[in-house]
Amino acid sequence: MTELKRSLRLGDAVVIGAGSMVGAGVFVAWAPAASAAGNGLLIGLALAAVVAFCNATSSAQLAAVHPESGGTYVYGRRQLGHGWGHVAGWGFVVGKTASCAAMALTAGAYVAPDNQRVAAIAAVSVITAVNIGGLARTVAVTRVLLVISLAALTTVVVLGWTSADASLEAIDLREGDVRGILQSAGFMFFAFAGYARIATLGEEVVEPERTIPRAIPAALGGVLLVYAVVGVTLLAVISSEEVASIDAPLRLVIDAADSPLGPVVRVGAAIAALGVLLNLIPGVSRTMLAMARNRELPQWFAHVDGIRQLPLRAELAVATVVTLLVLTLDVRDSIAVSGVAVLLYYAVTNAAALALSAEQRRFPKVLARAGLVGCIVLIAALPGEALLGGGCVLGLGIAARRLTRSDAC
Please state which CATH class domain 10-404 belongs to.
mainly alpha
pLDDT (0 to 100) of residue 182: 96
By the 8 A CB rule, do 271 and 145 touch? Answer: yes
Smallest CA-to-CA distance from 148 within 287, 57, 27 is with 27
- Non-local (6+) Cβ contacts of 91 within 8 A are 341, 342, 344, 345, 348, 394
300, with CB counted inside 10 A (0-12, 13-18, 19+), is exposed
pTM: 0.83
Q: Return averaged pLDDT per consecutive 10 residues of the chain, 409 residues in all.
A: 62 76 78 93 94 88 78 88 89 89 90 90 88 63 78 89 82 87 94 70 67 79 89 91 89 82 84 79 81 79 74 86 91 89 94 93 92 96 88 81 59
By the 8 A CB rule, do 116 and 225 touch? Answer: no
Rounded to 5 degrees, what angle do the CA atoms 279, 284, 287 make? 130
Phi, psi of 205 (to 5 degrees): -100, 135
pLDDT (0 to 100) of residue 266: 85
pLDDT (0 to 100) of residue 276: 77
- Please tell me the distance from the alpha carbon of residue 285 to that of residue 281, in angstroms, as a whole number: 6
